[in-house]
Structure 1
Amino acid sequence: MRSRGFLRALLLHILLRHVLAQGIRSIFLFKDVMKSNTTALRTSGFNTLIMFGVGVLGNGSIMYYSNTPGSKDVLVASGGAYVGGDALAAKVRSFKTGNDTGVNRLEISMNAQNIRNLMASPGPGADTPLYRNFAALREAWTLDAVNNDDESIYDVASTVAFAKMLARVGYKYTIAPYTNINFWRNVKNQVNSGLGAAEWILDRVYLQCYDGGASNDPAGWQNNLGMKVVPLVWVINDSKPSFGTSAAQARTRFAAWNQRSALAGGGYWNDYDIEKMGLSYRDYGSVLTSLFP
């Protein structure tokens, strides 16, 4: 009996460390998608793309902000309708369509500006401009989730209300923390309260392990949050070169973290620097496909 129990425990340990990883292979898209190498993004091993630079205006309209020279900010949803143009919608939808793509999840990343005020008035109801605009954008872009990159406001009540509103629209909700673990734990626990793990609204954590989050320990965050995380490293760049990570260095870091405590996957910040620095999407992507198949 003892040997049988020991064997069960050993098998469970192996399962938890090596099988339960979700195989998330992500990259944040900082570059305007109308100008980026979307073919490489679709075919280099990534299965999750997070479009950075979406923001909510005070009236509940939604902007796609340009982070690329020669591009302009675009109003993409207003008055409960998609208004971002057919070309942009077709480009975004193309990430998940066609036989050559490996992408099966598409997210938009935003900060928390105006969310607290909008949750207070007019609120998170289905008849509000904010709700209707997110519904229109989800349909136009075939979105799966909204990512919260709040780095300044940290208001639990409005964050939870907004996440639950998005769930009613049909989105999953993800976070990209670099600090303030107590805030994020409270948000995760309240958003997912009463739900089984398979039904969680807040289902992914993209943990910044560069710049202000350079000292973050994925295992510590996993233990504190009670869920697996996806650590992010910054690719080679000329903005803050000291935080730049080559594909080989990324492999070493992800492998060490995963060996210590099995991860949900891995990811990168960001596509703009890969293209600007003449780096290889395939090199970075192959690191993830080998470690998180």
Structure 2
Amino acid sequence: MQNQSQQSVPVSVSDSHADSSRTEMLRAEICSSSELSFLMEAHDGLSAAIAESAGFKGLRASGLSIASSLGYRDANEASWSQLVDVVERIVDSTTLPVLVDGDGGFGNFNNARLLACKLRQRGAAGIALEDSCFPKTNSLIGERHPLVDIDEFSGCLRAVKDTVGQDLVLVARIESLIAGHGMDDAISRAHSYADAGADAILIHSRKSTADEIFSFVHAWQNRLPVVIVPTKYYQTPASAYRKSQVSTVIWANHAMRAAIAAMRRVCHRIFTEETTASIEPNIATLDEVFELLRYDELARAEARYLRLS
């Protein structure tokens, strides 16, 4: 894979070979790699480019982060078409594969397969669907988290798989532990979702320790790769995930949260100090912005294609 500095032109989402390659890259990270993989959250083209420059090999288009960046709550207030548009910008801004947080599919099986089809067209490499009812509420808010019937969600997964085949990596996200339904329900759902065609299982927990996660992994016996989101149990070291043979860790919202904290500090200081002099040493320079977004490529292209008399 070419790195950003070697790439002469932005990757085109119309390049089916490039899209296929990204899907295989994501499949290798989640399903084939013997090493623990990490996906970094992205919510727009800029955060995607930053994650790639940091060295990550894959991205997760986060529902919470995308909704927040658009000024919406993570309660299906942003539409599926808005999600798809943001994913296109993320895909166009990097060479990395993108796993998209598709929530519950924005409706029934028909909505889910339409979403998957559109994401494939825009260059996504995978989609994660969760078994929460539409409209969903963020898993870490409140106590009411109704789940879709196992058979209904299995049908949704089959519909997506029949629509996109191997063109997207399909991750089934289980919310049993979030909803308080217990480990037996989580394992039962995992087996049903595997039979329905899921490529990997994402097990979610809101506990401050990873005990639930390790219990699930032990009971699941690695029938399919396990993906986790340690937003709450962040003090667990990566070595523990490696030991338990977790496949992939998603850092789900940290770029967005970091941006909020940084922008708040800067806005407050500019407002109170009425100058930017003191904050200039602590923010990105314009040259860094130009380098990150490859203005040099545009200059080379102008020299090649823009013939002025």
Higher fraction of strand: 1
RCO (CA 8 Å, sep 6+): is it higher in 1 or 2?
1
Q: TM-score, normalised by structure 1?
A: 0.49
Greater Rg, structure 1 or structure 2?
Answer: 2
Q: TM-score, normalised by structure 2?
A: 0.46
Higher fraction of helix: 2
